[in-house]
């Protein structure tokens, strides 16, 4: 009887994982609009600020996360400087929550506030909608000076309205197709989304020419040419849409979220709903810019590990030799990491293929059980922010999540589904 029960439970897990993988792989994320967060985030208020990673309060926030929060409050008119912002927060006048609570993602600090425009991504296969924040190299790394805040205002007042018109006229942009093509052009779609940015611009340009004045089109083209990492926000949003399609499936051990706030690293698992399982954010094994070193780097931060969760980013390192000049390592290392990830995933993704590996798909669908059983941790390639607010981007490298987050999740899985009694 006991053996029969074990077989039944195992069968339910395997069937649930098969369904979760099928949903993730068949997801069809389309960019359909750009709107202020407060218009699309359910129950968001004017004093709300969402952030990368699992939940965290001001007292535990790292330096760059605090800097990003202050910058965003100044941008929103909720404070005029750091001291005013901190007093307001300590009076309880600011609401903090994870981006993932709103089915959203943001790079590094990832802060999103009420009037900030976000990309709206619709899954045309499964019907879910997710959101992502602009990628920029100022506020998201903890800068809060005038120049940093001007970047957000340029996005809000100039760039987002123009792009929104073009996106709506297009009827929706197929992000998965752009991502698949970008992989064949040397991207891994996390730290190197340069080809994706060029491809996105080429798709959007006909519509931009129809909806915008010549000088506006020039501003957009100039922005894209100077910000090759732009497509990262859409890569992240598409990956969130894919993993969201596989969420909340009873008995599934598929990891649907990996995210960090600079203090904690958290994961979510399909069969465990929206519960967070956390451990300490790791120190990144990085290549630092001149003048900086390991002692300056903040622990791992950002929602961008959603790319690895969906099977790209660090899981596609073999595809992107150019990224090695930024994060370090050799081509052999990249191939080894890419192959190693197959040991902790549920299968290969036929859409995201790697030419150097005979066009085999990327390892996709992190299985909670396999991570704990093998001790092999997901590999994530990421940027590094200085641990002090206001200094910013200082390098990039590789990092792994803490194993304790996976142990916690597996214990919770066993408890929820009465597996602990079976030993």
pLDDT tens digits for range 163-187: 999 999 999 999 999 999 999 999 9
Residues 6 or more apart whose Cβ sits within 8 Å of residue 398: 284, 285, 286, 314, 327, 328, 329, 379, 380, 381, 382
User: 323: pLDDT confidence band, cut at 50, 70 and 90?
Assistant: confident
Distance CA 165, CA 175 (A): 17
The DSSP element (H or E) to which 98 belongs, if any, is: strand 95-98
Angstrom distances, CA of residue 276 to CA of 161, 333, 360, 365, 412: 35, 31, 32, 18, 10
pLDDT attached to residue 421: 59
Q: How would residue 369 be classed by pLDDT, with cut points 50, 70 and 90?
A: very high
pTM for this entry: 0.96
> Could you tell me the pLDDT band of residue 4, with boundaries at 50, 70 and 90?
low
Decide: helix, strand or coil at residue 215. Answer: helix
Interval 41-45 mean pLDDT: 94
Return the pLDDT at 422.
52
Which stretch of 133-142, 304-313, 327-336 has the lowest confidence by average pLDDT? 327-336
Q: Which domains does the chain have, with CATH numbers?
A: 5-22+247-422 (3.90.1700.10), 29-235 (3.90.1710.10)
Confidence of residue 325 (pLDDT cuts 50, 70, 90): confident
Average pLDDT across the chain, whole number: 95
Q: What is the pLDDT of residue 324?
A: 85
Instruction: Give the per-residue pLDDT at 161.
Output: 96
What residues are paired with 31 via a beta bridge? 121, 173
Q: Which has the closest alpha carbon to 64: 240, 237, 263, 251? A: 263
How far apart (Å, rounded) are the C-alpha atoms in residues 59 and 75?
Answer: 22
Alpha-carbon span 305 to 289, nearest angstrom: 22
Residue 207: how many other CB atoms lie within 10 Å = 18
296-306 mean pLDDT: 98
pLDDT at 3 over 70: no
β partners of residue 366:
345
Q: Among residues 28, 46, 26, which one has the least CA distance to residue 36?
A: 46
pLDDT digits (tens, 9 = 90+) for 105-133: 999 999 999 999 999 999 999 999 999 99
Residue 415 and residue 130: Cα distance in Å, rounded?
A: 30
């Amino acid at each position: 009887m006991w053996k029969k029960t074990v077989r039944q439970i195992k069968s339910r897990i395997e069937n649930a994982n098969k369904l979760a993988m099928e949903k993730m792989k068949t997801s069809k994320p389309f960019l359909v609009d750009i709107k202020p967060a407060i218009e699309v985030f359910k129950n968001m208020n004017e004093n709300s600020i969402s952030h990368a990673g699992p939940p965290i309060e001001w007292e535990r926030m790292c330096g760059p996360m605090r800097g990003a929060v202050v910058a965003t409050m100044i941008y929103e008119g909720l404070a005029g400087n750091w001291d005013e912002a901190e007093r307001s927060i300590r009076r309880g006048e600011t609401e903090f929550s994870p981006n993932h609570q709103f089915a959203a993602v943001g790079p590094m600090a990832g802060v999103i506030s009420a009037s900030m425009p976000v990309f709206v991504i619709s899954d045309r296969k499964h019907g879910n909608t997710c959101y992502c924040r602009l990628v920029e190299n100022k506020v998201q790394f903890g800068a809060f000076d005038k120049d940093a805040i001007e970047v957000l205002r340029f996005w809000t007042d100039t760039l987002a309205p123009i792009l929104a018109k073009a996106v709506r006229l297009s009827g929706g942009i197929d992000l998965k197709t752009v991502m698949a093509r970008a992989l064949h052009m040397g991207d891994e779609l996390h730290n190197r989304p340069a080809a994706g940015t060029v491809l996105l611009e080429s798709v959007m340009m006909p519509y931009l020419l129809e909806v915008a004045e010549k000088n506006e089109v020039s501003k957009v083209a100039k922005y894209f040419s100077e910000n090759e990492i732009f497509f990262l926000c859409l890569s992240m949003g598409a990956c969130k849409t894919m993993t969201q399609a596989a969420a909340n499936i009873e008995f599934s051990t598929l990891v649907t979220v990996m995210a960090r706030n600079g203090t904690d690293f958290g994961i979510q698992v399909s069969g465990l709903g929206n519960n967070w399982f956390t451990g300490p954010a790791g120190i990144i094994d990085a290549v630092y810019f001149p003048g900086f070193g390991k002692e300056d780097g903040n622990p791992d931060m950002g929602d961008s590990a959603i790319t690895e969760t969906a099977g790209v980013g660090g899981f596609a390192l073999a595809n992107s030799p150019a990224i090695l000049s930024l994060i370090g390592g050799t081509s052999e290392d990249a191939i080894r990491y890419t192959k190693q990830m197959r040991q902790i995933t549920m299968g290969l993704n036929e859409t995201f293929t790697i030419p150097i590996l005979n066009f085999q798909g990327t390892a996709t669908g992190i299985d909670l059980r396999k991570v704990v059983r093998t001790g092999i941790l997901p590999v994530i390639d990421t940027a590094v922010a200085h641990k002090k607010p206001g200094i910013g981007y200082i390098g990039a490298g590789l990092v792994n999540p803490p194993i304790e987050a996976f142990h916690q999740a597996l214990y919770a899985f066993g408890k929820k589904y009465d597996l602990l009694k079976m030993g």
